[in-house]
C-alpha cells in the first residue's frame, strides 16, 4: 500500500491527442493537414515534458478502432507515422529520449515496423524521458494479451506486463472519454479534459495540466491525510 503514497518526483502522463480533424476542417483544410500539424505538436510536447516534471509520456497516436476510418485517412496517418519514426532518432538521442511503441505490430506495414525497431534500438539508452507512442493500440487487447501471457494471474503480474500506472491523463479536443486508452493503468489517474484541439496544444497547456494535477488530492481510496492526523491526535 505504501507505494501509493510516496510522492513521485517525475510523472507518468498519458495524452489522448484528439481534435486534428476538426482543427483542419475549421480552417477549410483536409483532415490530413490536421494530422500533419498534430505531428508538430508532438515535437513541442516531447521537448516540454521533462521541464514540466514528466518522466514517462504515453501518447495515443492510432487506436485499433481507427482502422475503421476511410482508407485514405488511414494511409495518411500511417505515412506520417513512418516519416516520424524514420526521422526522429537524432532528435531523441540529442534530447535523451527513449522511444518505445506500444500496441500491435502484426497489422503494420513491414517498412513501418522496421523503422520502429530502428528508432527503439537507437534510443534505448535515453534516460531523460521515456516516450511511449501507442499505435494500433487497444487497452482491452493489451489486458487480454497480458492475461494470456501471465504465468499466474495477479495484480502485480498484469500490472508489470502492461506498464507503469498513469498519474495524469490528458485528452485534448473536448471529448470526455477514454476511447480504450490505458484502461488498467489509469485506475487512479487524474483526468484533465481540455477543449483545445491537439494542433493548438502547447507547452503552456501542458504546464497548466500538470499544475491542475499538483493541486488535486490523490487519496487512492483512503481518507484525506490532514483529517487522519487530526483524528489520531484526538484519539491520543
Ligand atoms: C486525433 O484526431 C488523431 C487520431 C485519432 C488518429 P482526430 O482525427 O480524431 O480528430 P477529430 O476528433 O476528428 O477532430
Ligand atoms: C482516440 O481518438 C484515439 C486517438 C487519439 C489516437 P478518436 O477520435 O479515435 O476517439 P473517438 O472515436 O472520438 O472515441
Ligand atoms: Mg477524434
Q: What is the pLDDT of residues 95-143, one digit of tens each?
A: 999 999 999 999 999 999 999 999 999 999 999 999 999 999 999 999 9
11-235 CATH fold: Undecaprenyl pyrophosphate synthetase (3.40.1180)
> Is any atom of ligand 2 closer than 6 Å to the C-beta of 134?
no
What's the pLDDT score for residue 13?
98
Query: What 3-state DSSP class applies to 186?
Result: coil
> Is any atom of ligand 2 closer than 6 Å to the C-beta of 177?
yes
What's the pLDDT score for residue 229?
57
Show Cβ contacts of residue 71 under 8 Å, excluding neighbours closer than 6 positions.
Answer: none
Ligand 2 pocket mutation, candidates 177, 179, 199, criterion most atoms within 8 A of CB: 179
* Index of the ligand 1 atom closest to the CA of residue 25: 14
> Is any atom of ligand 2 closer than 6 Å to the C-beta of 63?
yes
> Is any atom of ligand 1 closer than 6 Å to the C-beta of 21?
yes
Q: Based on the number of CB atoms within 10 Å of its own CB, is 179 exposed (0-12), middle (13-18) or buried (19 or more)? A: middle
Query: What 3-state DSSP class applies to 172?
Result: coil
Query: Which residue's CA is the nearest one to ligand 1's atom 13?
Result: 21
Q: What would the 3-class secondary structure string for 84-148 be?
A: HHHHCHHHHHHHCEEEEEECCCCCCCHHHHHHHHHHHHHCCCCCCEEEEEEEEECHHHHHHHHHH
What's the pLDDT score for residue 235?
53
- Say if residues 102 and 181 touch (Cβ distance below 8 Å): no
> From first to last of its 236 residues, what are the pLDDT tens digits of the chain?
434 444 468 999 999 999 999 999 999 999 999 999 999 999 999 999 999 999 999 999 999 999 999 999 999 999 999 999 999 999 999 999 999 999 999 999 999 999 999 999 999 999 999 999 999 999 999 999 999 999 999 999 999 999 999 999 999 999 999 999 999 999 999 999 999 999 999 999 999 999 999 999 999 999 987 665 555 555 54
Ligand 2 pocket mutation, candidates 66, 76, 139, 140, criterion most atoms within 8 A of CB: 66
**Helix, strand, coil tally for the chain in percent (to 5):** 50, 15, 35
What's the pLDDT score for residue 225?
72
What's the pLDDT score for residue 230?
55
* Index of the ligand 1 atom closest to the CA of residue 31: 8
Note if 18 is an active site residue. yes
Note if 66 is an active site residue. yes
What's the pLDDT score for residue 233?
53
What's the pLDDT score for residue 216?
96
> Is any atom of ligand 2 closer than 6 Å to the C-beta of 77?
no
What's the pLDDT score for residue 73?
98
Amino acid at each position: 500500500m505504501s507505494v501509493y503514497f510516496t510522492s513521485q518526483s517525475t510523472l507518468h502522463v498519458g495524452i489522448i491527442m484528439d481534435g486534428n480533424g476538426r482543427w483542419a476542417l475549421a480552417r477549410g483544410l483536409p483532415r490530413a493537414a490536421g494530422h500533419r500539424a498534430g505531428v508538430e505538436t508532438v515535437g513541442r510536447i516531447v521537448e516540454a515534458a521533462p521541464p514540466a516534471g514528466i518522466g514517462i509520456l504515453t501518447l495515443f497516436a492510432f487506436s485499433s478502432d481507427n482502422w475503421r476510418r476511410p482508407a485514405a485517412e488511414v494511409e495518411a496517418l500511417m505515412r506520417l507515422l513512418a516519416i516520424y519514426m524514420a526521422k526522429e532518432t537524432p532528435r531523441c538521442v540529442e534530447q535523451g529520449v527513449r522511444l518505445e511503441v506500444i500496441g500491435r505490430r502484426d497489422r503494420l506495414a513491414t517498412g513501418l515496423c522496421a523503422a520502429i525497431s530502428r528508432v527503439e534500438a537507437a534510443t534505448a539508452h535515453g534516460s531523460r524521458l521515456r516516450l511511449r507512442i501507442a499505435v494500433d493500440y487497444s487497452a482491452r487487447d493489451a489486458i487480454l494479451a497480458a492475461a494470456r501471457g501471465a504465468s499466474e494471474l495477479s495484480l502485480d503480474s498484469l500490472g508489470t506486463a502492461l506498464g507503469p500506472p498513469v498519474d495524469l491523463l490528458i485528452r485534448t479536443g473536448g471529448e470526455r472519454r477514454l476511447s480504450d486508452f490505458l484502461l488498467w493503468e489509469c485506475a487512479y489517474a487524474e483526468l484533465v479534459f481540455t477543449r483545445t484541439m491537439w494542433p493548438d496544444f502547447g507547452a503552456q497547456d501542458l504546464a497548466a495540466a500538470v499544475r491542475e494535477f499538483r493541486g488535486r488530492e490523490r487519496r487512492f481510496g483512503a481518507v484525506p491525510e490532514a483529517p487522519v492526523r487530526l483524528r489520531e491526535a484526538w484519539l491520543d
